[in-house]
């Protein structure tokens, strides 16, 4: 079964001098996004987000990178940590490859949102990234992965 391991990344920061030092952890994945047949552009920071219903990308970012997105739009309401949000979206597909599995092309259902700015990283959400991969989060520290790791295997 094709598989790969990703480190969990860590960053300490100090957003408020009166508050504690904060520590953020994230699971980020470099993906090669298909722009045209045979042309894949690397994007550094896809985030694996099990709290996200959909794989989501800023429509502005997609257009800038040349990713083909559909013309048809619809409205999508979602619940975020900031409350309910209503967004104009385009339902499409994202075709990606990963460094560790160069022979595999993955086709992800993707919601391109006009309301997400290009500075927000693309999210790999449950629908349908989790249909393609089984992933296991292992927080146990090792010398290679001191902040833990995530094991991915194709289904």
Partner 1 sequence: MPGTLSPPAESAARAARILGGDIRPTDYLPVTDRVRFLTDREMDFARERLKGGEPSDAAVQRQLRQNLLLVHHPDEHVGYLEDDHGIIVVVTGLDEIERVIKTVPFELRKEVCFGFISTVW
CB 111 within 8 A of CB 93: no
Residue 137 binding partner 1, by CB under 8 A:
no
- Sign of the alpha-carbon dihedral angle for 134, 140, 143, 147: positive
Nearer to partner 1 (CB atom), residue 72 or residue 81: 81
Q: List, in order, residues 6 or more apart from 64 with CB less than 8 Å away.
A: 118
Nearer CB in complex with partner 1: 103/117: 117
The footprint of partner 1 on this chain (CB under 8 A) covers a number of residues equal to: 33
99 touches partner 1 (CB under 8 A): no
Six-digit token string for 15 = 């957003």
Q: What is the chain's Cα-based Rg?
A: 17
Nearest-angstrom CA–CA distance, 27 and 10:
9
Residue 72 forms beta bridges with which residues? none
Min dist. Cβ of residue 46 to partner 1 (A): 9
Q: Establish if 11 lies at the interface with partner 1 (CB under 8 A).
A: yes
88 Cβ contact partners less than 8 Å away, ≥ 6 residues apart: 73, 74, 75, 113, 114, 115
Of 68, 138, 146, 153, the one binding partner 1 (CB under 8 A) is 146
Residues 111-130 interacting with partner 1 (rule: CB under 8 A): 118-121
Least Cβ distance, residue 109 to partner 1 (angstroms): 22
- Annotate each residue in 31-70 with x if it binds partner 1 (CB under 8 A) or - if it does not, as one string: --------xxxxxxx------------------xxx----
- Residues in touch with partner 1 (CB under 8 A): 7, 9-13, 15, 23-26, 30, 39-45, 64-66, 118-121, 141-147
């Amino acid at each position: 079964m094709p598989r790969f391991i990703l480190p969990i990344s860590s960053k300490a920061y100090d957003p408020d001098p009166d508050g504690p030092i904060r520590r953020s952890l994230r699971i980020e994945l470099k993906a090669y996004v298909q722009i045209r047949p045979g042309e894949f552009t690397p994007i550094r920071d896809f985030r694996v987000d099990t709290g996200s219903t959909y794989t989501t990308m800023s429509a502005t970012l997609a257009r800038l990178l040349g990713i083909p997105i559909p013309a048809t739009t619809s409205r999508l309401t979602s619940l975020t940590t900031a409350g309910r949000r209503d967004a104009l979206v385009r339902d499409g597909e994202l075709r990606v490859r990963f460094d560790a599995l160069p022979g595999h092309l993955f086709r992800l259902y993707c919601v391109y949102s006009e309301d997400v700015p290009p500075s927000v990283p693309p999210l790999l959400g449950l629908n349908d990234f989790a249909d393609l991969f089984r992933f296991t989060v292992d927080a146990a520290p090792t010398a290679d992965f001191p902040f833990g790791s995530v094991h991915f295997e194709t289904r």
